[in-house]
């Protein structure tokens, strides 16, 4: 569903990605087979700069990225509600 929404809205510049190893905010859901999705800012090469590091501060976030993530999240919530 998220991938389909992203394809319908190329202006979001959103794409599917996988993280291997370690834990993320949705690790517990995945471990217990609960359907889950996380939205995160990653570079095209899969790097998540500053993720969970001391340098992970608000000044590293561009407002345009937050806006696009919000638009995708809100569209996804609305679609889940309709379906």
b vs e for 48-83, b when ≥16 Cβ sit within 10 Å of the residue's Cβ?
Answer: eeeeeeeeeeeeeeeeeeeebbeebeebbeeeeeee
Q: For 9-47, what is each residue's pLDDT tens digit?
A: 999 999 888 777 677 778 889 889 998 888 888 888 878
Return the pLDDT at 61.
Answer: 85
Return the pLDDT at 6.
Answer: 94
Please name the residues in contact with 82: beta carbons below 8 A apart, sequence gap of 6 or more: none
- 3 pLDDT higher than 90: yes
Return the pLDDT at 74.
Answer: 97
Tell me the two tokens of residue 54.
């001391």
Q: Is the whole model's pTM more than 0.85, yes or no?
A: no
Q: For 50-64, what is each residue's pLDDT tens digit?
A: 878 899 898 988 899
Closest CA to 52 of 71, 70, 38, 67: 38
Return the pLDDT at 23.
Answer: 76
């Amino acid at each position: 569903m998220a991938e389909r929404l992203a394809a319908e809205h190329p202006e979001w510049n959103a794409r599917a990605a996988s993280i291997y190893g370690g834990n993320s905010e949705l690790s517990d859901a995945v471990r217990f087979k609960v359907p889950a999705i996380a939205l995160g800012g990653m570079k095209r090469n899969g790097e998540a700069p500053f993720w969970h590091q001391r340098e992970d501060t608000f000044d590293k976030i561009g407002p345009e990225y937050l806006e696009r993530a919000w638009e995708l999240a809100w569209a996804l919530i609305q679609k889940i509600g309709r379906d």
